[in-house]
Amino acid sequence: MKRAIILLIVISMGITSCKQKKETKTEAPTQVETTEKFVVKPEATSVKWTAYKTTEKKGVAGEFAILNFENKEGATPQEALNNLNFSIPVSSLFTKDEARDAKLKEFFFGAMLDTELLKGTIKYTNNVCVASITMNGVTHDLPLKVDITDERRVSMVGTMNLKDWDALGALESINKACFDLHKGPDGVSKTWEDVAIEVNTFLRKS
């Protein structure tokens, strides 16, 4: 009789142990984590420039009203900006002066090769940013200083030297067309080789 009772106890303990093992094997359903992406959009991006005239180096500001590229995204602002291919129609040049715009298009860009579009790629790796720009049939890197605030607003600035794109002939052409307009108080007409570039964008999250 005692043996029968002991056997029943052992069987009962075994059944309870199996149930506990099965319960411990039950896993909670996995949750799919969603990661936000930073997105660069053309409508949130502007390209401004400042050229210089007279020996006093008086600034002449302008911009390109159209910037073409597909929406680019990445896990970080740097990743979103890296390998961003873009094109800029020269016809979208805008300085708030129609006469000046016409002269720049005809005597500056019109004196270059491939005058319809400026093309390029932004490369941003290891906290170093450059814009590889093709202009006048020449591709050259323009180093850019990048400022990112709150991981959303991005400013990239650099200085383009026109000789790096073999554009000194175009510079001479625009200086001749604007000879008197580029004279300062000293009577010397001068158009500078360097052009300041500023690109601003706002990164959206998806």
pLDDT tens across the length of the chain (206 residues): 545 444 444 445 554 554 454 444 455 555 445 578 999 999 999 999 999 999 999 999 999 999 999 999 999 999 999 999 999 999 999 999 999 999 999 999 999 998 899 999 999 988 899 999 999 999 999 999 999 998 789 999 999 999 999 999 999 999 999 999 999 999 999 999 999 999 999 999 88
CA–CA distance, 181 with 104 (Å, rounded to integer)? 13
Q: What is the pLDDT of residue 33?
A: 52
Structure tokens at 56: 């006093």
**CA-to-CA distance for 193 and 135, rounded, in angstroms?**
15
Residue 30's pLDDT is: 52
Residue 32 has a pLDDT of 46
Residue 37, classified by CB atoms within 10 Å of its CB into exposed (0-12), middle (13-18) or buried (19+), is middle
Q: How far is CA 153 from each of CA 26, 108, 177, rounded to the nearest angstrom?
A: 47, 32, 39
Distance CA 94, CA 77 (A): 29
- 164 alpha-carbon distance from chain centroid: 21
38-205 maps to which CATH number?
2.40.128.110
Q: Measure the CA–CA gap between 42 and 199, rounded to whole angstroms.
A: 11
pTM: 0.80
Domain spans, the chain: 38-205
Map residue 145 onto helix, strand or coil.
Answer: strand
